[in-house]
Amino acid sequence: MTTGYTNPVAEGRHTTIEQYAWHCSEAFFYDGNATAGDTEFESHEVKKAEAELERLCKLSKDEMSIEWAKELARIREANQASWKHHHDMLARYTAMLEKVRAWELPTARHSALKTFMESQLVDSIKHDCDGEPFVQRSPAGSAEGWRSVQISRATQALASAQEEYAKEQARFVARKTYLDALTAALGPRPVRTP
């Protein structure tokens, strides 16, 4: 049975070792290319993290107070939405559970269905509505304390982005070295045929 890699050979589209080797190389490196664009996403993430850290460090006291107030308002709104969702879901489950319990079976054979329907609702109420909904804690303290926490998080995000960028650069070099050696051995990659 042919595979995605042997199918072009079976169909006669790949007749040389070079064509087949280049095609199989795709299993190792996406489409068999190594370009500088491979590290573009990670580079963008580093720049974004650097910009956020710089922005936070440059906030004036007034800007800091405004941002902190916005964050408190966002958390308050998110928590209210979470409570409403929790309450509405419990109300819908409970209303349906009452309907299921009041449902008169068309035949005795439907009792297993009714039992199943009830158990599904009871389990969902227990799983989704037992206890309180998820709420975000408001940052305690002051606008300055909030900024300090944000700068710490931004510093960690930058370090993580830089680490991922370094890893991707190393992967790029390894892919390029591998493909350069393959090109030296097989010649340029043939134009891909559908």
HEC sequence for 18-77: HHHHHHHHCCCCCCCCCCHHHHHHHHHHHHHHHHHHHHHHCCCHHHHHHHHHHHHHHHHH
Among positive and negative, which fits the CA dihedral 31, 36, 38, 40? negative
pLDDT in tens, 65-110: 999 999 999 999 999 999 999 999 999 999 999 999 999 988 998 8
CB atoms < 10 A from the CB of 109, how many?
Answer: 8
What is the predicted pLDDT for the residue at 131?
80
Q: 18-27, 108-117, 145-154, 183-192: which has the minimum mean pLDDT?
A: 18-27
Reported as type and span, the H/E element at residue 84 is helix 61-102
Q: How far apart, in whole angstroms, are the C-alpha atoms of residue 110 and residue 116?
A: 10
pLDDT in tens, 147-174: 999 999 999 999 999 999 999 888 888 8
